[in-house]
Amino acid sequence: MRTWQTDDSRPLPPVLHTSFSTLPENGECIVPYGNGFVHGAIRAFQQDLHLVLRPDDVWLSIATQFSFYVNAHAEELREFFVLDEGQEALGIHNPSSSPETLEVDWLAQHMADLIENKLVDPDDRDWLIPEFSTTTNNDRAVASMVMMSTMQKYFTFFASFGCGLPSVTLLGEKGDWQSILERLDRFETFGDEPKTWAKLLEPILKRFVATFDTPDDQQLKDFWLQICHLEGGNGSAGPDVFTGWITAFMYWTQEGKRNILSDWYGGGHSVVKLDGQAFPAIAKVDVPKGVVTVPVTLKDYNTGTLIETTVVAGSVGMSLTEEGTTVQPRSGWWMLEDKRERLLDCKDFEDEQGF
C-alpha cells in the first residue's frame, strides 16, 4: 500500500481509498499543490500559462474557506445549523460491504443527505453542494466531504459493515457562475467576518458572470490580469507577497483566523481594488491549504475490526495538458487509515440498530 508525505516529510498513514486510483490517459499530468486553485492560478499568471476554471473549482475554494471559519467559530454559529448541543453520530450500515470495498464518494454524499435532515435550514445542503452544468460525481463527493468537515463540530461520522471525493476558459454555463454570485448573500447571516468576505468576493463573481457577455471588454481583460500582482520586481518573478483579487480566496487560515498582513495597506505593497473593495496582501508562506479533513470511523462486524480514518478532501492540485500550456485546478480526496483495532463485542452494533 502506498504512502504519501506532507511538506515537512513526516510519513502519513496508508491511503485506504482515493479518487486518484486511476490517472488520466489523455497525457494530462497532475502537479500536487496544497491549494490547487490558488497555486494553479498564481502559477498560470507567473508563467504565462492558459488557465481553465470550472464553477465547481471556484465554489469549492469558497466552501473550503468557509469550512475553516465555521470550525473556528462552531459554538457561535451553532444556532444557525443545529438545535442540539454536542455532537450527534451520523452513520450508515452496509452488511455487504467492507472497509476495503467501501465507495467513499457514495458514503460522503449519503452523509450529506443525513446532515441535511438534521439542519435548522435543510437548504444549506444544496447551498454548499451546488449542481452546475460542469459538476461531476467526484465534485459532488468532494463538496459533500467539505460539508462534512464544515459540520464536524456538530456531528461525528461512521460507517459499519457486516453484522453490525494565454486565456481563461470558464466552463459551464453563465447561470452556473450567476448561481455562485447569488450564494454569497447567505454568508451575511453568519456574522461580520463572513459578511465582509462576501463583499470581497462579490465584485470578482460579478466579473466572472460578465465575462460570458462581453469577453473582449478591456476592463474584463484588465480584471483577469489583476488576479495576482507581483511584488518585489517586474515581469513574472516569484514574489514574497501576493496581492490581487486571488487573495479573497485566502481570507481565513486553516484555523479559521483572518489571514492578513498587519500592514497590508502600507509597506509599499500595491493594493488592488474592485468596486471600492480593497484586496489584502498575503505572504507567500501564508497561502492556506485548499483541503479539509474530517474523521470517520469504520466498523467491520464481519471481522470484528474498528478502523479510525481521516478523510482529506478539497482542491489538491492542478492538471497540466500534455503540451504544458494549460492548467486547471483538480479536486479529490483520500481516506487515510489512522488506527486499526478489534471491536470489543457486538453491543455497539446492537445499540446502533436500536435492539
Per residue in 287-330, pLDDT (tens digit) is: 999 999 999 999 999 999 999 999 999 999 999 887 878 899 99
Is residue 151 one of the residues assigned to a domain? yes
Asked if 63 contacts 70 with a C-beta cutoff of 8 angstroms, the reply is no
Buried b / exposed e over 210-219, threshold 16 CB at 10 Å, is bbeeeeeeee
E strand or H helix at 334, and its extent?
A: strand 326-342
- Residue 9 belongs to a domain: no
| Domain-embedded: residue 71 | yes
- Give the domain extent around 35: 15-353
110-139: per-residue pLDDT in tens?
Answer: 999 999 988 999 999 999 999 999 999 999
- Which is nearest to 178 in space by CA: 155, 140, 209, 211? 209
Mean pLDDT score across all residues of the chain: 85
Q: Cα angle vertex 128, ends 67, 132, to 5°?
A: 135
Task: Give the residue among 54, 58, 39, 49 at the shortest CA–CA distance from 320.
Answer: 49
Instruction: Name the percent of the chain lying above pLDDT 90.
Output: 56
What's the order of all strands across the beta sheet hosting 282-283?
229-230, 241-243, 282-283
- Per-residue pLDDT of 204-234, as tens digits, reads 999 999 999 999 988 888 888 888 865 653 4
Whether 191 is covered by a domain: the verdict is: yes
Domain-located, residue 148: yes
Confidence class for position 272, pLDDT limits 50, 70, 90: confident
What pLDDT, on the 0 to 100 scale, is given for residue 23? 64
| Cα distance between residue 8 and residue 219, in whole Å | 42
Model pLDDT, residue 206: 97
Residue linked to cell 444544496: 126
Residue 301 falls within a domain, yes or no?
A: yes
For the stretch 46-67, pLDDT in tens is 899 999 999 999 999 999 999 9
**How many structural domains are present in the chain?**
1
In a domain, 5, yes or no: no
Question: Would residue 200 count as lying in a domain?
Answer: yes
Q: What is the reported pTM?
A: 0.69
The C-alpha cell at 257 is 483566523
